[in-house]
Amino acid sequence: MNDLPFLLPEYVERLHRTKESMEAAGVEVLLLTDPANLYYLSGYDAWSFYVHQMLVVILEEEQPIWIGREQDANGARLTTWIHRDNIIPYPDDYVQSLQKHPMDFIADCLTQIGQADRRIGVEMDSYYFTAQAYERLKKGMPDARFQDCTLLVNRVRMVKSDQEIAYMLKAARIAEGAMQMALESIAPGVRECDVAANIFHAQVSGTPHFGGDYPAIVPLLPAGEKTSTPHLTWTDRTYKQGDTVLVELAGCYRRYHSPLARTAVIGAPSSLVRDLAEVVIEGLNTTLDAVKPGMTCEEVEWVWRSSIAKNGWLKESRMGYSVGLNYPPDWGEHTASFRPGDQTILQPNMTFHMIPGMWFDAYGVELSETFRVTENGCEVLADFPREVFQCPVDSGVYHPLGGSGA
């Protein structure tokens, strides 16, 4: 048996719950292309998702079937619990070819094993399932009845096992170290790219007890006027006195993420940043205190909305989402969000990234926490002061500018 991140019974249970969802959806065959779902059900872990690959789940079969590029087949043998006979490689002349397509090969395989005329679920809105892939499958299996099952496995993944929670707690330790490194590195005259490099080092080297994995999202580091938007990365620009810097990053262990965001200022913050930070921190604290199983995501967002409304603020975008296992380009699970209308009910061992950032035309403030829902409330995974920081901080010493602690 390979050195799998989970014991075999956990994979069997995951597959069982997936098949229950398939039956409820009226699907007999499920074609998965999201690498997080491949990992979740099989253990497959490789940077091969830039080419077409698939996990096939058939209701009557005890194991899924992995189909991918020939040179990646040994990766499937080394990282999964799947029997060798269920690892099926396609030749390299299918890769990025104008004459043939990997989905032609997959359609032929499914036809040969008698699955081409069944009710087949596909992940229509997966990053990794293209319009061309869908068209080739339909052409290769004209008698199949296709339906969209984009989030079927993602929803199965929402409630974490104890082992998954343990991995996310390790990821949180890595996130703490990476955030500390960021705050120690940001200073006048330092290049943004060098801060990013230090964060990457901390994310991958991890702790003295365990190393880190590559996160699904790179460090996000908008500074100065760029703090008006959350998803900018870095340049070779040098930081200047007075810059506000948003730092959003994650620790990652065995593909499980624990994101963390904080706001830093080089020097004294402006009154705009200070006042907004107080509102954001109060709202974050109030909302985390209110979280408990049985609430809906909409109700969680309402607590935040009510808190900031007392000070005359309104945030239109969602303020959190389900998080955990994933691959680039996103660490979110794409299932539940903290926003009006989301009726997802919180259950113990669901995990979320609560990120009540607020961005305006020339400035912004961002803080976040990853937490798991417990039997009575929630557990914040990272242990990091919930503050706006004055940079650079001394090694191991925080310089908070105000607000409530974690």
CA quadruple 174, 176, 178, 181: dihedral, nearest 10:
-140
Closest by Cα among 319, 197, 175, 321 to 257: 175
CA quadruple 182, 184, 186, 187: dihedral, nearest 10:
180
**pLDDT of 405 strictly over 50:** no
Contacts of 234 (CB under 8 A, 6+ apart): 192, 193, 195, 196, 219, 221
Whole-angstrom distance, CA of residue 7 vs CA of residue 77 = 16
Q: Which residue has the tokens 């989970």?
A: 6
- Residue limits of CATH 3.40.350.10 in the chain: 8-156
**pLDDT of 395 strictly over 80:** no
Beta strand 351-354 with 332-337: parallel, antiparallel or unpaired?
Answer: unpaired
**pLDDT of 86 strictly over 60:** yes
Residue 3's pLDDT band, with cuts at 50, 70 and 90, is: confident
Compute the C-alpha angle 245/250/177, nearest 5°.
80
403, 387 contact by CB (below 8 A): yes
Residue 397's pLDDT band, with cuts at 50, 70 and 90, is: low
- Pair of tokens at residue 15: 């597959």
Can you tell me whether residue 78 is helix, strand or coil?
A: helix
- Residue limits of CATH 3.90.230.10 in the chain: 162-391
Bridge partners, residue 265, by sequence: 244, 390
User: Could you check whether the bond before residue 392 is cis, i.e. omega within 30 degrees of 0?
Assistant: yes
Q: Which residue has the tokens 């603020």?
A: 313
182, 199 contact by CB (below 8 A): yes
Whole-angstrom distance, CA of residue 323 vs CA of residue 354 = 10
pLDDT of residue 393: 80
Other Cβ atoms less than 10 A from the Cβ of 230: the count is 18
pLDDT of residue 1: 55
Mean pLDDT value across residues 101-114 = 98
CATH class of 162-391: alpha beta
Per the prediction, the chain carries an average pLDDT of 95
**pLDDT of 95 strictly over 60:** yes
Rounded to the nearest 5°, which phi and psi values hold at 261?
Answer: -130, 145
Q: Which residue has the tokens 């604290």?
A: 285
Residue 406's pLDDT band, with cuts at 50, 70 and 90, is: very low
pLDDT of residue 33: 98
**pLDDT of 402 strictly over 70:** no
Tens digits of residue pLDDT in 264-323: 999 989 999 999 999 999 999 999 999 999 999 999 999 999 999 998 999 999 999 999
Residue 236 DSSP code: S
Residue 136: its H or E element: helix 131-140
Residue 345 DSSP code: B
Whole-angstrom distance, CA of residue 93 vs CA of residue 102 = 9
Mean pLDDT value across residues 60-89 = 97
pLDDT of residue 322: 98
118, 145 contact by CB (below 8 A): yes
Q: How far is CA 274 from CA 57, 94, 268, 385, 388, in A?
A: 52, 56, 9, 16, 8
pLDDT of residue 403: 41
Residue 3 DSSP code: -
Tens digits of residue pLDDT in 219-277: 999 999 999 999 999 999 999 999 999 999 999 999 999 999 999 999 989 999 999 99
Whole-angstrom distance, CA of residue 290 vs CA of residue 335 = 21
Whole-angstrom distance, CA of residue 177 vs CA of residue 160 = 24
pLDDT of residue 394: 74
Fold annotation for 8-156: Creatine Amidinohydrolase; Chain A, domain 1 (3.40.350)
